[in-house]
Amino acid sequence: MAADSKGQSWAILAASEMGKGVWLKAQLKADRPSRLIIWDTNDEYDKAARAVHSFDALLRALAAPTFAVRYVPKARKDKDLRAEFEAFCTIAYAAAGSTIVVEELADVTSPSWAPPAWRKLNTRGRHHQGLTLYWCSQSPAFIDKASLGNATHMHVGYLGEPRHRQAAAAHMGCRAEDIDDLVQGEYIEYDKARKIRTKGAVSIPGVCKQRRPVPMGL
C-alpha cells in the first residue's frame, strides 16, 4: 500500500440497544471488505468473521491476501486488557488496506491516555496504511480525546448521560439536546471534512418503531 493512502476513522457512539451494532453490521455487510479485522469484546461478530484465539493465529490469518477474522480478548483485569489491545493494534497496523473494527474503546483508553499502538493505528494507519477504522463506545466522555479529535466521521445515536452527549456534540457541531432528542434506532452522522450532518434510522429486530411523544399543552 502506498504511503498517504486516504483512510477513514468512524466514531460510532450510542447507548446500549440504541442500534449502533445493527448499523455497523449492516455497513460491513454492504461494504464487504476483503480484509477485515475485529477486536470483538463481546464475542458478537460471528456472522461477520471467523474467530482466532491467539495472536499467532491472527498473524497467520493476516498473511493471506484476503481475510475476515475477529479476536475476542481474554484478559479480565484492566491493565491486562490494555496490554492485549496494544498487541492487537500493533499487529493490525501492518495489515495495509484493512478495515478494522474496535468494540468499546472505553475499556482500553481513558480521557487522558490511549495505548501508543492505538494512537498510531488511528493516525498514521489511516494515512500511511490506508486503514478504515470503525470504533465504538457507549461512553464517549470516558475515551481518549485524541480518538474523537481524529475521527473523520461520526455516527451518533441516543446517549443517556449528559456528559456523553456533550462529548459527542462537541465534535460534531450540534447541540447535546439534538442527541437527547433521538429515539431508539435514530442517529446523526457527521462528515468532518465536508462539515455535513445527516440524520437516519435503522430498524432494530424485535423492536417496534417508536412513536415520538406529542407535546402536552400547558
The pLDDT tens digits of the residues spanning 28-83 come to 999 999 999 999 999 999 999 999 999 999 999 999 999 999 999 999 899 999 99
Overall number of domains in the chain: 1
Helix (H, G, I), strand (E, B), or coil: what is residue 129? coil
Q: Give me the numbers of helices (H) and strands (E) for the chain, helices first please.
A: 8, 9
**pLDDT of 218:** 31
- Domain holding 17, by residue range, is 8-201
The C-alpha atoms of residue 17 and residue 11 are separated, in whole angstroms, by: 17
Amino acid occupying residue 105: L
Helix (H, G, I), strand (E, B), or coil: what is residue 5? coil
C-alpha cell at 205: 429486530
Q: What is the CATH number of the domain that holds 98?
A: 3.40.50.300
Quote the DSSP letter at residue 112: T
Residues (pLDDT < 50) of the chain are: 1-4, 213-218
Residue at 14 is within a domain: yes
Contact yes or no for 122/105 (Cβ under 8 A): no
Residue at 209 is within a domain: no
Q: Identify the bridge partners of residue 102 per DSSP, sorted by sequence position.
A: 39, 135
Residue at 42 is within a domain: yes
- In the block, cell 406529542 appears at 214
pTM for the whole structure: 0.91
Residue at 210 is within a domain: no
**How would DSSP label each residue in 9-66?**
EEEEE--TTSSHHHHHHHHHHHH--SEEEEE-TTS--TTTSEEE-SHHHHHHHHTSSS
How far separated are the first and last CA of the chain, in Å rounded?
Answer: 63
The C-alpha atoms of residue 181 and residue 212 are separated, in whole angstroms, by: 10
